[in-house]
A and B are shown apart, each in its own frame.
Chain A
């Protein structure tokens, strides 16, 4: 990277969705027409694609570096590129009104980046760039200077715990696997990120795939595995592509294959595409899926570390867990253990989304208070509405209310309030979100994804969903709250795998903190947040209505009448409460109550 001018464009899924490929193409064109190509392009001027840099809400983000100074532009669209090239690249005058503001720096300054550090800096499609930031030095060090036992000891000392959800100590898991007598062992990277609202693993694989592979090589050597698999969601085409590319490059360089780093250790990795089943994130279901079966979990023990893929000892680690490993080997267990809280060490990557200003991918030391994440890094609630709750851990987690806003975010902290870390998704909800509806949303999800093997989960989630559905439709009965509570506890206590055991969490946590909303739905047949359509009445405010007729056009049951340019009226006896008129009105004249 010795060229004088570098333009970095984010090419993660978020960036591409916001149009970054077109932005990059525009830069290429502009450089050509401006004559930069003939004179300087390639030598002094370079366009560089990078992975997700976190602040997805401001996409497309573009860095322009001249010499050793860097300017970051936000919300860049293709048509803006011409001026950047003309004024900034050629004219050396940065366009101040398009640059990021102070909040961009607040967003980043409050984070600690162990895993995301290289994302947004290096080209994920180039192994050379990964090697240039000390890539594969940890694997070399581990294989040539350390024994497997030393590596496992280092992991134990570091305090690293699984980032996939349950938080089991990684070093301990590895030691169980290594202790087995077996002619073969396997290591699997679990990249089947299925939680709605979570995209940490996708971003890491898209932005720095080699770090994951390096972690797998070290893990394989530590437990004595010669084959590895990456089980990844087929819904992540870009991540799959970059992963395959990285595998090819690593093989070419001799980092995968036979006799790695001049030792006698052989290791290769295959990619397995998931076929769209949430339950396959569970270890034993994932193994069944790799073996080509229906992805149904089985009872544990035996644990996969003793008896896993094809009956052999198998380690399954999450993407983020594996991406931590090279850093721990290079910088030492003490360094890693110095970050984070007492029982949760290191950092956690979090997908911060929902009704929040600064949506994006962040990394914080374990134990950071929820408040700091939402109001400092996240910049507070979108549209200055009131904070209501934050949902963590996806369908397995719970909703945390205002009263626990000071809670430290680590495994124990989240568990103590009835939620969990999960894979690290954090969805912020505001006053306009109905908690009964949220709870129903997650039950819809888990009920559909339940594999059907065990009764409590198969039938229990179905019944829970039925009760929640009737509550949101105004048919809630007296005693429903108690029934929900009891049934949810039964499903939690008696299901076979993690899916069923955690599926009731959204219900239990909302019942605990937002019981009054359930009561309002059941007793007063009202939805306080005005979300559950069946409990609302739609009407038109005459003083706001301009009589454009859009609502009448949108109404599928002809319940809206009125003369052109005169206030319209909704016949509530015909209205099916679909909400189409509310969406159609451009003058906020349709109200619901």
Chain B
């Protein structure tokens, strides 16, 4: 592991120990730094805290928020709430998959430009179906519309 990465992890460790934070908080901070939870960071942290790595993995794989693989530059999040569902969220997902040429078990494009994710509900049901790209919320989407909106993010 690189020295700079270790320094970042040490910083997180110091801060979390001082605050008495649990491993969920520590993992959230690691993910904030790296964009995902790198495998080597789990082992580094497990050594540092003397907590078995399996406990970290138990938590990481339990919660939807944690990612074990690097994610793309742009994160596309499609809301899968009830209202978005009845207003056609699944058709939007297939369209995005088609546009980004994602295979069935794939969520990130090869060039690391996009990652497609879903969320249970963002609670913006009045403008369903909703797609969030990074921090921008796109309401009342349709398959054709989302293709148009994603163009702006393509390099």
Contact = CB atoms under 8 A, between A and B. Distances in A.
Interface of A: 13-14, 16-18, 56-57, 59, 193-199, 202-203, 234-236, 272-273, 275-278, 289-296, 351, 353-355, 359-360, 391, 394, 425, 427, 429, 433, 438, 441-442, 445, 451, 556, 578-580, 583-584
Contacts of B22: 290-292
A295 B62 contact: yes
B69 interface: no
B82 interface: yes
B86 A56 contact: no
B105 to A, nearest CB: 16
A578 B28 CA distance: 38
Interface in B132-155: 137, 139, 142-144
Contact of B24 (A194, A289, A359, A445): A289
A265 B68 CA distance: 44
Contacts of B144: 583-584
Contacts of B130: 17
B126 A427 contact: no
Contacts, number: 127
Given A17-B127, A277-B62, A291-B22, A198 B121 contact: yes
B48 interface: no
Contacts of A272: 25
Classify chain B's interface size. Answer: 35 or more
B82 A275 contact: no
Contacts of A195: 121
Given A197-B82, A275-B24, A13 B124 contact: yes
Task: Give 3 closest A-B pairs by Cβ, nearest first.
Answer: A292-B22, A199-B123, A56-B126
B94 interface: yes
A394 B128 CA distance: 16
Given A17-B139, A292-B22, A354 B83 contact: yes
Contacts of A235: 119-120, 122
A253 B35 CA distance: 37
Task: Kindly name the residue among A199, A235, A272 whose own CB sees the greatest number of chain B CB atoms within 10 A.
Answer: A235
Q: Output the residue of B63, B119, B125 with the most chain A CB within 10 A.
A: B125
Given A197-B83, A427-B82, A583-B91, A353 B63 contact: no
B18 interface: no
A276 B46 CA distance: 23
Nearest to A449: B120
B65 interface: yes
B5 to A, nearest CB: 22
Contacts of B8: none
Given A289-B24, A579-B91, A276 B124 contact: no
Interface in B79-100: 80-83, 85-86, 91, 94-95, 98
B122 to A, nearest CB: 6
Contacts of B65: 234, 275-276
Contacts of A290: 22
Interface in B29-68: 58-59, 62-66
A351 B86 contact: no
B90 to A, nearest CB: 9
B123 A351 contact: yes
Given A196-B82, A291-B22, A292-B25, A275 B124 contact: no
Nearest to A57: B126
B83 A427 contact: yes
Nearest to A193: B123
Given A14-B124, A353-B82, 15 more contacts: A13-B124, A14-B127, A56-B125, A196-B82, A197-B81, A275-B59, A275-B64, A290-B22, A351-B125, A354-B86, A433-B86, A438-B82, A451-B62, A583-B142, A584-B143
Contact of B127 (A18, A291, A296, A438): A18
A534 to B, nearest CB: 13
B50 to A, nearest CB: 15
Contacts of A353: 82-83, 125-126, 128
A427 B139 contact: no
Contact of B64 (A56, A277, A425): A277
B143 A583 contact: yes
Nearest to B132: A17
9 contacts: A18-B127, A56-B127, A197-B83, A199-B125, A278-B120, A289-B24, A292-B23, A292-B25, A354-B83
A425 B62 CA distance: 26
A116 B82 CA distance: 24
Given A13-B123, A198-B123, A293 B59 contact: yes
